[in-house]
Amino acid sequence: QMLAMKKQGEEMKKHFDSPEWKAQMEQMKKQGELIKKQFDSPEWKAQMEQIKKQGELMKKQFNSPEWKKNMKGRKWILKDSVGGVKIYAPKDTDEKNDQPVKEDQQ
């Protein structure tokens, strides 16, 4: 058993000392540096800041009393990628044919 472990250890050392392994590690290191450079770039940071501002504007819009008032009583038709359809309608609607949740397969 000790002989097998020693042999396995030698094989692992040989593998990790091989030029192929070292080249692969060097390539991964370079790739990591490129990714770091990209995410540290002013362009990337500006783009992320713009997305953040856009999200804040959308949050303001969708949380505003005007938006909520306009959307009250509206139906939403949502289609999924496999053809399923869900219709979401308010539960306090006055219309006779409206149902709170209806599922159809089209």
Q: Where are the chain's structural domains?
A: 74-106
Query: Residue 64 — φ and ψ, nearest 5°?
Result: -75, 150
pLDDT at 100 over 70: no
Indicate yes or no: pTM above 0.75: no
- Kindly tell me if the per-residue pLDDT of 12 is higher than 70: yes
Per-residue pLDDT reduced to its tens digit, 18-70:
999 999 999 999 999 999 999 999 999 999 999 999 999 999 998 899 888 88
CA 99 to CA 35: how far, in whole Å?
Answer: 51
What is the per-residue pLDDT for 53?
97
Three-state helix/strand/coil letters over 55-95: HHHHHHHHHCHHHHHHHCCCCEEEECCCCEEEEECCCCCCC
Residue 103 and residue 83 in contact, taking contact as beta carbons nearer than 8 Å: no
With a pLDDT cut of 70, the percent of the chain lying above it is 84
